[in-house]
Amino acid sequence: MSSGLRTKRDFQISETMQWHGETKLKKPESADFPLIERRPLYFFSGEERRQVVFATRNDDEPKTWTVPVSLDDDLPVACPSCDQTYSLWTPLAGWEYVGACLASTGFEIESIGMLWDRSVWFISTRLKELTALAPKGHKAFLNFSCGLGKDLSPQGEVSDTREVCWNTVIQSRINGEVLFKVKATKNFFLKAEDKKKEIEKAVGFTAVYYTALAQCESKPCKENEAREAFYGFSYRKQEELPEKVSTRARNFVGELVTLFAKGLGNKGETRADALNAITEARTRGFEDSIKSKFDQFQSSEFGGFADEKAEFARLAFDDDAWQQTVKRGRAIAQLV
């Protein structure tokens, strides 16, 4: 596993020791995050030092470039960026944002940190009011994370995962219910303000999601039914039944059936196990996938796979839609 705690500058803070054994044991506070500011970027032309100012044919005027620097050690935390096109969302700004979004709810910041030479930060909060509503085996965390070098967009999601390292940040971003995701462009801060009310509402709607998930976990589902649901879902976008089942679809459904019974936390007994199988497979990817793990992560987090996981969740929660999909999948399975 990769903690992301690569250098002495990196840190993770919580009141309990985490798996990597590098936790600083204390209650997280805003002062634990360093101040970060942009510094001008220079180059030398002969013996003359000049600030980097660059203009393209589409620019009305030259743009300045700066590098984010942590003021406690006066070292960079990420690659340079253009002031006019990229907004730097620092961890301290993120701390204030989390507090503003959750001011009317019961929450506690349980874990914070900076990873990969401080180029990524995260804040993991426990939603006290939702913890009591969560089905057995689930926890209610609202996590926020962001990259400072344009490689990880600002995001917040409700998740079962407490963020304490790079692995858990990725797990939360992929598997959580995304409430906030905005590209850090020049209009980022205006868009982030607009998202506050949406986050407040979505935190409340999470209680409804937990109720649906609990019902899903109580609905029996045998292996054949799960297989038929997977086939029906795989061909959901085609009005007519396929003439034959593709090798790729057959192999993927086979993987899903295996995960349904033996995936992480699965027993092959309920509709929730089928949902978990889709989530795990789309996060990890096909066994024969030629994509890199990071490409798979991007697709699962930002691309069609993320929408697909949400679509299957809605299907699993709806009895009529589920039965229709199973019925269609039964007809498709006979073509195998």
pLDDT attached to residue 283 = 59
Tokens of 172: 């939360």
pLDDT of 254-302, one tens digit each? 999 999 999 877 899 999 999 888 877 765 554 444 443 334 333 333 3
pLDDT attached to residue 259 = 93
Confidence of residue 133 (pLDDT cuts 50, 70, 90): low
Confidence of residue 207 (pLDDT cuts 50, 70, 90): low
pLDDT of 37-71, one tens digit each? 999 999 999 989 999 998 777 777 889 999 999 99
Report the relative pairing of strands 36-40 and 24-25 from DSSP bridges: unpaired
pTM of the entire predicted model: 0.66
Q: Out of 74-88, 95-109, 136-150, 301-315, give the one with best mean pLDDT.
A: 74-88
Instruction: Evaluate if residue 192 carries a pLDDT over 90.
Output: no
pLDDT attached to residue 305 = 55
pLDDT attached to residue 304 = 45
SS3 call for 143: strand
CA dihedral 101, 106, 111, 116 (to 10 degrees): -20
Percent of the chain with pLDDT over 90: 54
pLDDT attached to residue 153 = 92
pLDDT attached to residue 284 = 56
> Which runs of E-coded beta strand occur in 16-154?
24-25, 36-40, 42-45, 48-51, 53-54, 63-70, 75-76, 81-82, 107-115, 120-127, 141-147
